[in-house]
Structure 1
Amino acid sequence: MSTPLSVAIVGGGPNGIALANLLGAYGVRTVVVEREREILEYPRAVGMDDEALRLLQTVQLAEPLLQHMIPNVPLRMFRADGRCFADIRASTREFGWWRRNIFMQQLAEKTLRQGLQRYPHVELRLGQEVIGCTQSTNGVTLQVRNAQGETYPLHCDYAVAADGGRSPMREMLGVKLLGRTHAIKWLVVDVRNAPIDAPYTALNCDPRRPNVCIYLPYGYRRWEFMVFADEDEQAIAAPESVRRLLAPFVADPTAVEIVRARTYTHHSRVADRFVVGRVALIGDAAHLSPPWIGQGLNAGLRDVGNLAWKLAGIVNGQFQPAVLETYQQERHRHAQAMIDLADVFGAMLMPTHRLKAWCRDRFFSLARLLPGVKDYVLQMRFKPMPRYEQGVVVHQAGRPMVGRMLIQPDVEDDRGLRRKLDDVIGPWFAVIGWQTDPQASLSETERAFWHRLGAHFIRLDRARSGSAPGARIRSAHGSTCLEDVDNQFSDWICAHPGEVLVLRPDRYIAAQCTAAEWPAVARQFHDFTCEPRRDERAAA
């Protein structure tokens, strides 16, 4: 008898395959149904941020992906006269990776699919299409049409719609996309061998024809040109038209190899629901964003990071089924916030009215004279970070970092090896004690609960905290002992007191407290799991 299917993912793009990798790492029996037989080659996402790389680090795919990326790429904004008025290059690596990394989606998708080969319990079915979806209190049934045109039912405990902006699954579920579609279209052109030395992303804010130029790996470059209302979107994508558009930027546009030109419509829309019964929506199926801050794919990967461990915990019998609803609570508002920011950026950077462009240029010129404003812009601090006020979090008074992502410092293990914190923690829950063993103040019963949940206990101390060279602080309870080699965590904890932290698999802080408060805080996590609290067991 085959193992029952736990999760079916509809859509084998980067979000669906990233989710399948995470579920594979959590031991969840998963099937991905993808309509296309081959990875699509036409212009799509080109930017991956630090949060996304950190997510993929969880399944050991960040480094393989970086082999085809250009890390730490600046973003420069140019006036109509060609003068640069903003050079955005975020130097922070608080989450362990650079904030702006440029890639080519088709290469990233190949790497993600190769990652699935590690998991015999994960299956990718190509050339198959979901044409129907029904669900009950016990599961979901998808009607799938295979490559031969035959239809068969696919039964699963839960399903995920990762089938893109035109999502048939969203339509089947009756979910509405709220927001607007922008009237102005954009021509996206991918070329090879463009002879310009510009190793950055350029926003050419020229009101005569706003455009974007993106430096890509392996000799590729992308331009995105605004298409005006009186222009034919088919004609402007013709080779002779594309070469005219490229002429101001390259010496000989006839020598440039045009790989593909395609006209796109921008959307600013969010689904009214991210969860319908036992089906969740992720990525473009749940929200559509203009490209101005490069967060379309990254927002989808945040969905993946939030949803994967919840599904795994539910199907593995660790969490209450109601935990699935926290995906909607935690992700919906932030997805909308990112789209709102993209809309603001688009309006600010790409006006066709000369007076508006002049006002924008003056604003940025003045901003460079104000250190606080300059740092806010150039270090990309305008990007809103998620903070989960509801969901799988236990808020305590005076702990503002609960619900936010924890930094990822380098640490040194007991063998003296320098590693990223997440690589030591592993893909699941962790309880971190700063200069304290987080197991020490728990009862044996409570320690057993956290071990059943699969949490990894960590004691983190300052560098060279042992009594002598080579001597290390040890745990009497088997917690992993690490040292904060660069004082990054020390600085963070000084700014945000509370020496015990519960870290979720998506690296968000689920709780923070003192060692004295920790036993009481720890007991509150029973509410999310399938185990009753001790007082409830006693009453029963």
Structure 2
Amino acid sequence: LLPGRMLRCAGRPERRPHALVRELSGRYDAVVVGCGPVGATAAILLADAGMRVAIVDESWHPFPFPRVESVDSAALSLFRRVLGAEAEKLSCAPASGPAVYTDKSRLDKPTVKPALYADAESRASIFQPQLEDLLRSALERHARVHEFFGVSARHLANEAEPALMVEDVISGKMGTLSATYLLGCDGAHGFVRVQSGLQLRVLGSPASFLVVDAEAPLDGLAGTSGELHLVADAERPLVYAPLGLRELGARWQFGIRPGEDVPALRAPERIRTLIAPFVAQPERVRVLQHTVYAHTPFVAERWRTRNVFLCGDSVHSTA
């Protein structure tokens, strides 16, 4: 089990603050808060429709580790549409929906495979940092999109029209971006949803998982390439996905039991033990990240208030 390293997307120049819009006031047809895949795609589609768009994100660069490891065919088609010719650079591999197993040593025989996901091409494995990097490049090329990276949303007023108070995270300079429409694409703990007073409906009990991402050769991994293996293990339920990507070979999500010693669970030797049943040659595996993810499934009671809209994980988180 080799030590991890930071993930990087090769071939891209560093983005420099002086290349982006730094005047923090103005009026737009639409303001998008959050530059993940949902926000970036929404901004490009709006700009393609002729709108003048501002997109705001406090990070200069995409998050270096993947959160999502696969998308359905409709989402992949949309990403390819907004990326245009650059879509050829996107690493992806065929994937399929979940199958349920009751024995982690027999991943060749699913107990249940939902008919909805019978099509082996229903999903695609992706490397999210690369996707986000390509989307940001597409934003930079679009004349009708103004990027406000390194800018944090501070206050949202939604009276005659949405008005977003923002702050440059380096200089502390403040400004206000107003628009006919504002889209909150800023995730499950989204600023826009909270500021808009939109309430959540919780759908289930909270659960915590240890997520482990690794580089690994596909021929040394158990299970079916691209399939989401839901393992109903009595000792520790888990989700396992051999992805078949050069940048990300496999992902495991191990359930954390109530009261369990999480630091001990994250120790390298413990991770080695956890992934051992799925790996034929541990010496060829390189752990890229391991992190604890706490999840509570929810949907927002409403996805719109006046001309403020919630999108993506800001409005629902169910998986």
Say yes or no: TM over 0.5: yes
- Per the TM alignment, residue 58 of structure 1 is displaced from its structure 2 partner at its CA by 4.3
- Per the TM alignment, residue 55 of structure 1 is displaced from its structure 2 partner at its CA by 3.0
Distance in 2, Cα, partners of 1:225 & 1:158: 40
Matched, 1:170 2:196: no
Distance in 1, Cα, partners of 2:28 & 2:143: 13
For 2:296, what is the secondary structure of its paired residue? strand
| Match of residue 160 from structure 1 | 183
Give the letter for the 1:286 counterpart.
V
- Runs of 5+ consecutive residues of structure 2 not aligned to the other structure: 1-24
For these two proteins, the number of residue pairs brought into alignment is 283
Distance in 1, Cα, partners of 2:131 & 2:142: 18
| 1:167 to 1:72, Cα distance in 2 relative to 1, 3 A | closer
1:243-302 per-position Cα deviation (integer Å, ceiling 9, x unaligned): 111122224546521111011122211111211122111111111112xxxxxxxxxxxx
Q: Tell me which structure has the larger Cα radius of gyration.
A: 1
- Runs of 5+ consecutive residues of structure 1 not aligned to the other structure: 93-97, 291-540
154, 159, 168: which one aligns with 1:131 = 154
| Match of residue 120 from structure 1 | 143
Distance in 2, Cα, partners of 1:60 & 1:45: 19
| Match of residue 22 from structure 2 | none
For 1:125, what is the secondary structure of its paired residue? strand
Distance in 2, Cα, partners of 1:245 & 1:261: 12
239, 242, 252: which one aligns with 1:212 = 239
| Match of residue 222 from structure 1 | 251
Pick 1 or 2: higher relative contact order, CA cutoff 8 A, min separation 6: 2
Contact 1:177 1:269 in 2 (8 A): yes
| 1:46 to 1:29, Cα distance in 2 relative to 1, 3 A | same
1:402-428 per-position Cα deviation (integer Å, ceiling 9, x unaligned): xxxxxxxxxxxxxxxxxxxxxxxxxxx
- Range with bigger deviation, 52-61 or 159-168: 52-61
221, 242, 260: which one aligns with 1:196 = 221
Instruction: Map 1:270-285; keep pairs closer than 5 Å.
Output: 270-285=299-314
Distance in 2, Cα, partners of 1:220 & 1:166: 29
Length-normalised TM-score, structure 1: 0.49
- Range with bigger deviation, 68-77 or 140-149: 68-77
Give the letter for the 2:236 counterpart.
R
- Per the TM alignment, residue 45 of structure 1 is displaced from its structure 2 partner at its CA by 0.7
| Match of residue 91 from structure 1 | 119
Matched, 1:106 2:129: yes
- Per the TM alignment, residue 242 of structure 1 is displaced from its structure 2 partner at its CA by 0.9
Percent identity, please. 28
Give the letter for the 1:263 counterpart.
V
For 1:41, what is the secondary structure of its paired residue? coil
1:493-531 per-position Cα deviation (integer Å, ceiling 9, x unaligned): xxxxxxxxxxxxxxxxxxxxxxxxxxxxxxxxxxxxxxx
- Range with bigger deviation, 197-206 or 238-247: 197-206
| Match of residue 144 from structure 1 | 166
More strand by share: 2
Distance in 2, Cα, partners of 1:52 & 1:66: 17
| Match of residue 37 from structure 1 | 60
| Match of residue 245 from structure 1 | 274
Instruction: Map 1:45-64; keep pairs closer than 5 Å.
Output: 45-59=68-82, 61=84, 64=87
- Per the TM alignment, residue 186 of structure 1 is displaced from its structure 2 partner at its CA by 1.0
Matched, 1:187 2:210: yes
1:292-331 per-position Cα deviation (integer Å, ceiling 9, x unaligned): xxxxxxxxxxxxxxxxxxxxxxxxxxxxxxxxxxxxxxxx
Contact 1:53 1:62 in 2 (8 A): no
- Per the TM alignment, residue 226 of structure 1 is displaced from its structure 2 partner at its CA by 1.0
Length-normalised TM-score, structure 2: 0.80
- Per the TM alignment, residue 14 of structure 1 is displaced from its structure 2 partner at its CA by 0.8
